[in-house]
Structure 1
Amino acid sequence: MARAQKHGVRIEYIQPGKPQQNAYIERYNRTVRGEWLGQYIFETIEEAQEQATEWLWTYNNERPNMAIGGITPAMKLKMAA
């Protein structure tokens, strides 16, 4: 919070019980829980971090996203460059 203030960034929190105020991240969180987090039992933080890294790579590079025309986020980024 201090860093945000130092750089002139105003933080606005969503109201409790109003996830629709930040639907994009709520949708992503649901995807993370359903496709990755809920599928594993982790023994260590390192194991969780490794699985998260692998899932995120797959999410960005192999998994088509229907919201952006059925291509991967990596493909969309390439097209924008």
Structure 2
Amino acid sequence: MLTNYLNSLLGKEFALEIVDALRNQKTILIRGAQGSTGKTTLCRILREHGVAAVEEKDVYEVILDTPLENRIPHFNPETISKS
């Protein structure tokens, strides 16, 4: 039923891409033009089917594109305190 909904909303080719992403346990990021385009509905339906889906408005994006110059030797992120 979910596949049929995705086919009707997005078209068969794009729906297959989403189904493939789901098989690979990817989180689905939904974004698009402002206004009533179905983003929130699609996100809600995916979540109701157990899919990790988020809308762009609910995400804070961090872009790291500059190589690190002074890496910490033998750095272990597990040792970072959470407090």
**Structure with bigger RCO (C-alpha 8 Å, 6+ apart):** 2
TM superposition score normalised by structure 1: 0.22
Higher strand share: 2
Q: Higher helix share goes to which structure?
A: 1
Larger Rg belongs to: 2
> What TM-score comes out, normalization by structure 2 length?
0.22
